[in-house]
Amino acid sequence: MDDKILARASATGPRRVIGVGTMGGLGLLLLWLAVTQPPANPLWLVFLIVLGVAALWVAQLMWRVTSRELLLTDEALSDSSGAVIARIADVVKVDRGAFALKPSNGFALTLKAPGKRAWYPGLWWRTGRRVAVGGVTAARDTKPMADIISVLIMRREGELPPEM
């Protein structure tokens, strides 16, 4: 097994701050609205409070998660904590198109078999056979990563010679 890292992607500082700030701002705005202008119906008040707390929870989760780095090797795409996002042997297709269901500045992978659901806001998510990478990452990191995965798939399928 070769653990040589072929590509790395991480959250850029400004994108990370903007993403977390936007989510935290939404949470604070919803809670402020619930306190200063409470709706007449108590169910709407509960809704605003729950949504505000949820947005603040997602903001702190995004802050922790986006400190990680995505690492691509010949074997797998994983993050710096060791979590395997997708094994290259399981990847069927890479989609970077403008109309693909993917995060900003990212790409989507289609896997052979469904994987366990996972969500790391701002970095990657997986549901069923779809994995999406990106969000607060820079396109300068994720675009070459998607291209390398495409080349690894073509090599596996015999469309490229092994030395490429």
Asked if residue 164 belongs to a domain, the reply is: no
* Residue ranges making up the domain that contains 32: 10-65
Q: How many domains does the chain have?
A: 2
162 pLDDT band (50/70/90 cuts)?
Answer: low
DSSP 3-state of 140: helix
Asked if residue 163 belongs to a domain, the reply is: no
pLDDT exceeds 80 at position 120: yes
pLDDT exceeds 50 at position 78: yes
Q: Are residues 143 and 78 in the same domain?
A: yes
Q: Tokens 């080349």, residue?
A: 151
Asked if residue 17 belongs to a domain, the reply is: yes
97 pLDDT band (50/70/90 cuts)?
Answer: confident
Q: Are residues 51 and 80 in the same domain?
A: no
Q: How many CB atoms lie within 10 A of CB 46?
A: 12
Q: Are residues 73 and 152 in the same domain?
A: yes
Asked if residue 162 belongs to a domain, the reply is: no
